[in-house]
């Protein structure tokens, strides 16, 4: 996913449907120092139930548009 594609998502976009965790919440957690998928999962519970939002590798059927690993990669690229 490109930075431009990523930035089309609204901060209220629900990344984790199981726990209703938004992109804004995840980016705030990254800003607070939780900069890995595992750290995000520990902090927000996102990705800990059905696990589809963790990565495209797990979400083989493409049920989710945005995944935790993509958010971490974006944050790293933007130096968040």
User: For position 64, which CATH number holds?
Assistant: 1.10.10.1100
By CB atoms closer than 10 A (0-12, 13-18, 19+), residue 17 is middle
Total structural domains in the chain?
1
pTM to 2 decimals?
0.95
* Domain, as residue range, for 13: 3-77
CA angle, corner 67, sides to 26 and 74, nearest 5? Answer: 65
Q: What is the pLDDT of residues 52-74, one digit of tens each?
A: 999 999 999 999 999 999 999 99
Report the pLDDT value the prediction gives residue 1, as an integer from 0 to 100.
Answer: 85
């Amino acid at each position: 996913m490109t930075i431009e594609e990523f930035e089309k998502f609204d901060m209220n976009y629900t990344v984790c449907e199981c726990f209703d965790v938004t992109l804004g919440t995840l980016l705030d957690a990254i800003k607070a120092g939780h900069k890995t998928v595992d750290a995000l999962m520990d902090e927000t519970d996102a990705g800990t139930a059905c696990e589809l939002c963790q990565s495209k590798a797990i979400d083989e059927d493409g049920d989710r548009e945005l995944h935790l690993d993509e958010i971490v990669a974006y944050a790293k690229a933007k130096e968040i």
